[in-house]
Structure 1
Amino acid sequence: MEWIKLIGILIILVGFIFKFDTIAVVIIAAFTTALVSGISITEFFTLLGEAFVKNRIVTIFLLTLPMIGISERFGLRQQAVILIEKMKGLTTGRFITLYALIRQLAGLFGIRLSAQPQFVRPIVNPMAQAAANARYGKISEADEEIIKAKSAANENFANFFAQNTFAASAGVLLISGTLTSLGYEVQATSIVLVALIIAGISFVLIAIDNFLFDLKMDRKYGKKSSKGGQKS
């Protein structure tokens, strides 16, 4: 009857199929598995508590959600928009390129940022939208969605291609350790040098893509005149 210990997997499958609460399904599956395996209720909660404490770093990101919500509630988004509107000549593409550069520099110095919820949604996208509105006036909803997508995509590009430019990053250590275990003596610095080249190439491509986006927007909307009208 050892197979009965797999009942937790069945519970998870059924829970996910019927779209029950994920956390509740996982806990019930774990609790049921513990009971059929001969683990007492006290031992189960002890194991659950120990696992939570050992992996509590994983749940720290949850603290950022209410913090960002509170910041937005008290005008973070509005102040970011006002700041961008005061910067003459700053286009959406230039701003997003600047943010991509900041993200790559953060990776170079080993600064890890969960930037989609903390920066892109509440700050980067509104500022990119503000740059477009300041330059062109009201833009279409379709272009607003494109700017939103470009803000998120450039965050991913910059973070992904620059995350191994720091010698002590998890990716560099994993690559170095794996190659060493296979008989290839590779130094972490060698991996970083290659990653720097890739990061540099990716940034050039990011800058070109954003520059072309600005040209496309200029052709579509023209530039606002000093009196708020559109140039022909």
Structure 2
Amino acid sequence: MTELNLLPLVGIVVVVAGFALRFNPLLVVVSAGIATGWAVQLDFLTLLETFGEKFLNARQLASLFLIIPIIALLERYGLQQRAQAWIASIKSATTARILMMYFLVREGSAALGLISLAGHAQTVRPLLAPMALGAAANLHGPLPKPIQDQIAAHAAACDNIAVFFGEDIFIAFGAVLLMNAFLQENGIMGIEPLHIGLWAIPTAIAALIVHCFRLARLEAQITQQLVAYLKSQPQEHDATKKSELENNTSEVLS
């Protein structure tokens, strides 16, 4: 009976111990790889070659993670504030119009296969949400926290829904190829990825129309919620501000 060699599992011990002691994650992972290579008796050059090969194979994933600290650095130096101030300077910009424009661009780019062109980390958080908040603040003034959260949630929903319905139009998308393979395995022949992509277009158009209608109603909802908020806290706001919001409500609803 062959004796079981548990020595190669030393890398797991290194990972658990490193994270438990709150060491640098990159240092922990590299140390675990070196420990595992030593356990299986790899020479140094072979181990270094393995590290390089795995890094090159996963370079797209690595570049994705590099975006996060770049965005964080831009936010640290006022990216959100600049985006919000720029939109506030455009008098015709509204929350609904900004989100509608983004939805259209995002769904169109996803239909072309450019799914990584935008996203929550690189677009919604640092740019889209501050721009939508800036437009709302330009129209209504300072916004309470619940309304700010609602606008940010709608900005995130725009990205999710646009990508979900737009990516099915791209015939090389994984889900489209999976549906095509499933149909062929079950004896349904004659359907190509191009057919699936074409039939996804009406669904994407319907999603665009429905979501734009929801965003158009968002403007009225924001104004109504602001009026209710001001009425619940009369000691913090004067009657002039309430009158302005009530006038905005009648204009939006009309």
Report TM bin, short chain.
0.7 to 0.9
Aligned length: 227
1:204 to 1:22, Cα distance in 2 relative to 1, 3 A = farther
TM-score norm. by structure 1 comes to 0.80
Matched residue type, 1:212: R
1:221 to 1:104, Cα distance in 2 relative to 1, 3 A = same
Higher helix residue share: 2
TM-score norm. by structure 2 comes to 0.74
Q: Does 2:170 match 1:169?
A: no
Matched residue type, 2:60: I
**Distance in 2 separating the partners of 1:73 and 1:204:** 37
Aligned residue for 2:168, secondary structure, equals coil
Q: Which residue of 1 aligns with 2:125?
A: 121
Q: Shift of residue 51 of structure 1?
A: 1.4
1:150 to 1:19, Cα distance in 2 relative to 1, 3 A = farther
Gaps of 5+ in 2: 228-239, 247-254
1:31 to 1:192, Cα distance in 2 relative to 1, 3 A = same
RMSD, aligned α-carbons: 2.9
Q: Which residue of 2 aligns with 1:90?
A: 93
Which has more radius of gyration?
A: 2
Q: Which residue of 2 aligns with 1:5?
A: 8
Write out per-residue CA displacement over residues 27-67 of structure 1, whole angstroms, 9 at most, x where no aligned residue: 22222222222212221111001111232122223454465
Matched residue type, 2:175: G
For 1:39-78, what aligned pairs fall within 5 Å after superposition?
A: 39-65=42-68, 68=71, 76-78=79-81
Q: Which residue of 2 aligns with 1:225?
A: none
Matched residue type, 2:10: I
**Distance in 1 separating the partners of 2:13 and 2:184:** 40
Q: Shift of residue 164 of structure 1?
A: 1.9
Contact 2:140 2:245 in 1 (8 A): no
Q: Which has the higher contact order (CA 8 A, sep 6+)?
A: 1
Q: Does 2:195 match 1:190?
A: yes
User: Moved runs in structure 1, 4+ residues, more than 6 A?
Assistant: none
Identity of aligned residues (%): 27
Q: Which residue of 1 aligns with 2:250?
A: none
Query: Given the alignment, which residue of 140, 144, 147 partners 2:144?
Result: 140
